Amino acid sequence: MDESLAELAAYFGARARVPDQELIRLTAAARTAGSRWDAIAAACGVRCFKDITGVVKMACWEGDETGPALLFGSTQYSLHQLTGSRSYFPPLRWDCASCGRQVTDRAPAGRPVHVEHGHVPGCARLAADQGARTRSAASGCRG
């Protein structure tokens, strides 16, 4: 587990409030280090709404209540709070260590080629994420 993911997981393990700026920094760093949203949520023990209550801020939530979706939504809400974005759900941006480009996360799940915008054509990270998603879908798992 990379350092940023371990630090984020420690907040959840202690049930301590994660400041907005830290949530954004740590999730972006975990994404840069190669963690997918399902792995981030699993490391933090986020499976349902009660797992984020009191640890991160969350707007009224009526969508998908999977761990990755809740954590992604909380990160978007923190971005909205800090930046004053006109979009209520601004995307998270992080630097791809493989292709060196800034990537825009549009969703916590789905085909990486559709939800991770900004990779260069032929990016090894994107190809690996896509392969993992394809294998997961073939096994009957979501993510």
Q: Model confidence over 50-59: pLDDT tens digits?
A: 999 999 987 6
Confidence at residue 63, expressed as pLDDT on a 0 to 100 scale: 59
pLDDT of residue 64: 63
Report the predicted TM-score, pTM, of the whole model to 2 decimal places.
0.87
Higher-pLDDT residue of 24 and 63 is: 24
Q: How far apart are alpha carbons 30 and 115 in whole angstroms?
A: 17
Instruction: Write down the pLDDT at residue 71.
Output: 93
Asked whether 119 and 96 are in contact (CB, 8 A), the reply is yes
User: Which of 8, 4, 125 has its CA nearest to residue 74?
Assistant: 8
Q: Who has greater pLDDT, 125 or 89?
A: 125
**Does residue 141 carry a pLDDT above 70?**
no
**CB neighbourhood size of 41 (10 A):** 24
Residue with token string 């409030």 = 17
Residue 18: the pLDDT is 97
How does DSSP classify residue 103?
E
* Residue 67 reports pLDDT greater than 80: yes
Residue 27 and residue 78: Cα distance in Å, rounded? 11
pLDDT at 60 over 70: no
Residue 129 pLDDT more than 80? Answer: yes
DSSP single-letter state for residue 10: H
Query: Roughly how many angstroms between the first and final C-alpha of the chain, as a whole number?
Result: 19
Average pLDDT, the chain: 88
Query: In the prediction, which pLDDT does 87 show?
Result: 72
Instruction: Please report where in the chains the tokens 């190809």 appear, as a residue.
Output: 127
Residues 105-115, mean pLDDT to the nearest whole number: 90
Give the helix/strand (H/E) hosting 93. strand 92-95
